[in-house]
Amino acid sequence: MGESALLEEGRRVPVTDTPAATGLEPLREGGIGGSLETLRRELLELGARLDRVVEPSGKSLVAEAARLLERQVCKIAVIGQIKSGKSSFLNACVQIPELLPTDVSPWTTAITSLHFQQRRPSEPAAVFQFFDEQEWQRIAEGGGLLRELTERLVPGFEPELLREQINSLRLRAASRLGPQFTQLMGQTHSYEELCPEVLGRYVCAGDPVTAMRDVESQLGRYSDITRSADVHCAGGPFAFPTTVLDTPGTNDPFLLRDEITRRSLESADLYIVVLTARQPLSDADVALLRILRGLHKERFLIFINRIDDLADISQDQREVREFVKNRIAREFPDADIPIITGSARWANAALNQTSLSQPFDRRSLAYFVETGLMRREDLVRTAQPSSPPRSDLKDALLTSSGVPAVYEAIDKLMFESHSAHVLRQVAQCYAELARASENTINGELQQLTELQSTAATTAKRADSHLPRLDAELRQLGEVAQIIETSAKSIDEQMREIVQEEISNLRQSLTAEMQRYADEERHVLTDTLRRGRGPSEWRCEADSLRRRLAEIFMAGFNRSSQRLVSLQARVSPELYQLMSMIVPGSPPPHEPDARGLPMPSPNISALSTAVVLDLATTWWSAFLRRSPTPEQRGDEVAALICSEFAAVIDEMASKAEMALMSYGTTMSKWSFGICNSIIEALRRRREELRTAYDGLAAEAGGTAAPESVAQRDQDIAKMRARYTEAAAVAEKLQSILPELRSPEHRSGPAEPTE
Amino acid sequence: MTKAMQVLVGLLADARHKLKTADFGSYAEMRLLLDQSLDKLERALHRRPTVVVAGESNSGKTSVANMLAGLDVLPAAVIANTTVPVSLRHGIVPTVSAVTTNGRVPLSILAIEEPLPKFLMGGLERIEVELPGMRDAGFEILDTPAWPVEGLASETADILIWCSVAVRPWTESERRAMIDLPARMRDRSLLAITNKDAIAPAERARVLSRYKELAGPHFSDMVMIDAAFQQPDEEDEEVLAQNSKGDHAALLDALEQLVDDYWNHRAMTGRRLCRHIARSLRPGIPARQGENGTTAVSDPDPVSAILINIAGRLATV
């Protein structure tokens, strides 16, 4: 009990309760995702305890769930336009000021994954993976997706720019690595320890060949061929295992990097969109956010960096925040997206002792005084070059940097993440398993006690028990069969529901696309007929994307509701069967649909660039090929359909996968639990039957004293197991409500949309 | 103004003078025609170039426009606040007018700082500000909202200044905006790299080299300036003022090159117009004696002499 009491203690310091004004330290104790991590550890421990009380056939379920728990990692992607300060923000956020290299020109070339709380003893600290021959060929020779798109639109059309870029990429790789650089393809480089210089070699752009400062410079040496970097970091603010992704900026004229970033958007649980205060939410930012719209809207937060660049920090900051808030509200009408202003530079200065002892710029200091974080009379000392590091300056810097607010927001968002969902599923499964074990053990206990009292009587009476036991065994067999067949039929029902829903979804998505294509055909034909040039018309595929996302979300919610209600129908049936064989089972717990929302799949398919996104000049080239307005309209409509058909396909299959995996996991676990109990009961009863047989064999006489003592021991052991199972079940029951997201936890839960 | 232009302007003045002093008598019609042609020439020669200041949102367009005007006329703020194009040009008295779809409405009653009445906003196309201070500028300025601007009359643009923030050196969306511009607009284009002071002096060369590599092909010239976003601290004011004076000069120098180029281009057009006028004059010149071939012209009538003179000079500029 001592250990769980400690855990209990640990949970008393939830991160969200720490006042934001005190800087980073208090968070470090609890850590981001601290409460989720505590729950995860508790579940792991309860799993181990459960493993000791469940039947052997239940052990594999427990182990499977435990493996799931072990594997949980929250992935946070930091994204934004080039030069928004993503890398500096990340350095501040993970509290390692000079980890990722930063520079005045766009600098990050590869996706860098920073792993926290995940390093296994034998793993290297950093692994860099190079493109393999094939990928390189595809990028260097073909120019990746963009080239594909262009080719599809205008066969034979070769964008000069892309070719130039690819040439310079090749040239640079060769000049940095020598002509033999292709030999590195597909390889990995690993390091036992990591320093910023090493990282710089792989993920920094370095200088262009034409302006290389130092021929021997290692900076960016491998950057052209590095596909990904995986770095394990010690420390950091995270309690829950977390991976943070630093991405190359979007809106880079170096088109290939943009493409790399877009591809990485697929897999993260949370997104931090970094904007710069001086150019908040430009059109390029909005374009990026629109891509994210395909993802869960409660899964991202916005950080407005570089408020220290503003002329009047407090006034301008308010204006910028208001502006962003309004624009976000327009783009995402019903979402509550956290918007945080701050400065990574301030946070990094606070984390770096040497910079704290240097004089600080006056505008920032004036702002700290204005907001009451520093006293005016202390400013003089700060300006002295040799003053010792100032703790009040440090606190002011941290508080104003926005980083603590980001921590809080991440901590909250983690409760919505996929990991939290897995924790909920596991807790639910464990709770049911524990409860069922408790009941079976209880039933068995009764039988054993009865047997013990029977033992004192005659063999004749023992004989009379035999037919009853036989009958019970038969019943068990029947129930097991019923469960098996109903499991099959439930499985079929589930498949039917999923198939029906997916085909409905596909139909409504396709109808929307068709409607849009017809509309665009009409608009274009009309524009051309009125004698306007094709450049007057621009296909804004975004409105289609928006509609598709809406339809998808609505459809998916309906489907998941149907599955959950199927689940809700199945549970009582199962329990009814169970109560037939284990009398006195408590009534089934209603599976709480609110507690177990199915996370919808991300629809990053929507963000796939389609030819419709290409620049106007390419469009004109395309449109010139067909002579009449009608033909051009037809071509465009056909193009829209062929482009988006693939997108819709991918969306539908994603939804199908999500629904199927939810359905199969839930039914597998429920039936697994039942089956393991039936199995156990059958085995026990067979044992009992042998025991009675033994009793009968001790014809006429009384039972041997040693077998009585043996049975007494068995009963005592079983009692202990019963108590343990009951304790575990109790504990799990108390954990379940804590796993609900904070909004759901407080007050009566509202029905979800 | 360039030499070529000065020649043309001189020529024009000379022709005017000759026309004024001569007695055309029965050739009044001829004179009217010539007058009209010369008017046309004059208009073509004297149109000041329009400098369009463009760029993405919050790239310092308004600050650059103010810098060019040499006055802090337009309000610059942290959130992009220019929502309609504003043109700044020379006028004898300061006036502000709204150009709407229904014509030009002078707003003489309103102060510049006041918000515009709502009724104007509907069909508002641009605001025109006339300032005495713009007399020596040699160009008109058109400050635009964030690019791309819907329906902005690009034919009025003679010189383009594209503003880009040094802290975010050249983006894909900027590149696209540039390549989508009509080629005519890109002929004389200046890249103004603003917010120079946010970059440490040692790093500026590298930022500039990135611009040269990626944006260079799109522009005639580029200049790095600190279009003041930041209110200077009191003590630094002098230093900053000097600094921005340097930037101001650099910007104006770069612009002057383009303005010269503009005038050269104008001069070319002017010369073409001259030759055209000369050609159209010849058939009407009343010197028919020579045509008959009877006698050599000993004493051509004065009007003919003037016209021949003018046509000759126009044809050979």
Q: Is the pLDDT reported for residue A703 higher than 80?
A: no
Which chain B residues contact residue A615 at CB under 8 A? 176, 179-180
Helical pair B61-69 and B237-281, crossing angle rounded to 10 deg: 70
User: In chain A, which residue's Cα lies nearest the Cα of B210?
Assistant: A105
Q: What is the dihedral of CA A692, A695, A696, A699, to 10 degrees?
A: 180
Longest dimension (CA), chain A: 112
Which chain B residues contact residue A279 at CB under 8 A? 56-59, 165, 168
Give the closest of B58, B171, B180 to A278, CB-based. B58
Surface of B (140-169) touching A: CB under 8 A: 146, 165, 167-169
Residue positions counted in chain B? 317
Contact A310 B231 (CB under 8 A): no
Contact A253 B203 (CB under 8 A): no
- Supply the pLDDT for residue A73: 92
CB of B183 within 8 Å of a chain A CB? The answer is: no
**Across all residues in chain A, what is the average pLDDT?**
77
Contact A104 B203 (CB under 8 A): yes
Beta-carbon contacts of B282 under 8 Å, excluding residues fewer than 6 positions away, are: B311
- Supply the pLDDT for residue A241: 93
CA atoms of B268 and A310, how far apart (whole Å)? 47
Contact B213 A82 (CB under 8 A): no
Give the per-residue SS3 of A277-336.
CCCCCCHHHHHHHHHHHCCCHHHEEEEEECHHHCCCHHHHHHHHHHHHHHHHHHHCCCCC
Q: Is the pLDDT reported for residue A68 higher than 60?
A: yes
Surface of A (249-268) touching B: CB under 8 A: 251-253, 255, 258
- Supply the pLDDT for residue B274: 85
Give the closest of B77, B173, B180 to A283, CB-based. B173
CB of A207 within 8 Å of a chain B CB? The answer is: yes
Q: If pLDDT is split at 50, 70 and 90, which confidence band does A76 have?
A: very high
Give the closest of B146, B200, B213 to A208, CB-based. B213
Which chain B residues contact residue A310 at CB under 8 A? 78
Give the closest of B180, B195, B233 to A362, CB-based. B233
Across the A/B interface, how many CB contacts are shorter than 8 Å? Answer: 97
- Supply the pLDDT for residue B293: 44
Which chain B residues contact residue A312 at CB under 8 A? 78, 231
Q: The pTM is what?
A: 0.80
Which chain A residues contact residue B169 at CB under 8 A? 83, 104-106
CA atoms of B63 and B226, how far apart (whole Å)? 9
CA distance A281 to chain B (A): 9
Distance in Å from the first CA to the final CA of chain A: 41
- Supply the pLDDT for residue B238: 56
Q: If pLDDT is split at 50, 70 and 90, which confidence band does A242 have?
A: very high
What secondary structure letter does DSSP report for A204?
B
Q: What is the mean pLDDT of residues A110-126?
A: 87
Contact B57 A276 (CB under 8 A): no
In chain A, % of residues over pLDDT 90: 15
Interface test with chain A among B171, B178, B195, B208, by most A beta carbons within 10 Å: B171
User: In chain B, which residue's Cα lies nearest the Cα of A307?
Assistant: B78
Give the closest of A83, A210, A252 to B172, CB-based. A252
Which chain B residues contact residue A105 at CB under 8 A? 169, 206-207, 210
In chain A, % of residues over pLDDT 70: 73
Q: Is the pLDDT reported for residue A2 higher than 50?
A: no
Q: Is the Cβ–Cβ distance between B40 and B12 less than 8 Å?
A: no
CA atoms of A504 and A66, how far apart (whole Å)? 36
- Supply the pLDDT for residue A15: 31
- Supply the pLDDT for residue A23: 44
CB of A214 within 8 Å of a chain B CB? The answer is: no
- Supply the pLDDT for residue A240: 92
CA atoms of B39 and B46, how far apart (whole Å)? 10
Interface test with chain A among B59, B147, B167, by most A beta carbons within 10 Å: B167
Contact B171 A323 (CB under 8 A): no
Q: Which residue has the higher pLDDT, A113 or A740?
A: A113
CA distance B313 to chain A (A): 43
Q: Is the Cβ–Cβ distance between B76 and B62 less than 8 Å?
A: yes
Give the closest of A251, A278, A616 to B173, CB-based. A251
Contact A309 B171 (CB under 8 A): no
Give the closest of A309, A362, A617 to B179, CB-based. A617
CA atoms of B257 and B267, how far apart (whole Å)? 15
Exposure on the CB side of residue A632, measured as CA atoms within 13 A: 22
Structure tokens at A139: 């990028």
CA distance A284 to chain B (A): 7
Cβ atoms < 10 Å from Cβ of A630: 14
Q: If pLDDT is split at 50, 70 and 90, which confidence band does A598 have?
A: low
CB of A620 within 8 Å of a chain B CB? The answer is: no
CB of A363 within 8 Å of a chain B CB? The answer is: yes
Q: Is the pLDDT reported for residue A520 higher than 90?
A: no
**3-state secondary structure (DSSP) of residue B193:** strand
Which of A181, A165, A133 has its CA nearest to residue A256?
Answer: A165
Percentages helix, strand, coil for chain B (3-state, rounded to 5) are 50, 15, 35
Query: Which CA distances in Å does A206 have to A11, A103, A194, A199?
Result: 46, 9, 19, 12
CB of A323 within 8 Å of a chain B CB? The answer is: yes
Contact B179 A311 (CB under 8 A): no
Beta-carbon contacts of A393 under 8 Å, excluding residues fewer than 6 positions away, are: A350, A356, A360, A368, A374, A382
CB of B175 within 8 Å of a chain A CB? The answer is: yes
Contact B169 A106 (CB under 8 A): yes
Sign (positive/negative) of CA torsion A530, A536, A542, A543? negative
CB of A386 within 8 Å of a chain B CB? The answer is: no
Which chain A residues contact residue B57 at CB under 8 A? 279, 282-283
pLDDT tens, residue by residue, A396-444: 888 899 999 999 999 988 887 888 888 888 888 888 888 888 888 887 7
User: In chain B, which residue's Cα lies nearest the Cα of A280?
Assistant: B79
Q: Is the Cβ–Cβ distance between A31 and A240 less than 8 Å?
A: yes
- Supply the pLDDT for residue B292: 46
Contact B78 A278 (CB under 8 A): yes
Residues in chain B predicted with pLDDT less than 50, given as ranges, are 229-235, 288-297
Q: What is the mean pLDDT of residues A199-203?
A: 84
Q: Is the pLDDT reported for residue A48 higher than 90?
A: yes
Q: Is the Cβ–Cβ distance between A677 and A436 less than 8 Å?
A: yes
Which chain B residues contact residue A104 at CB under 8 A? 167, 169, 199-200, 203, 206-207
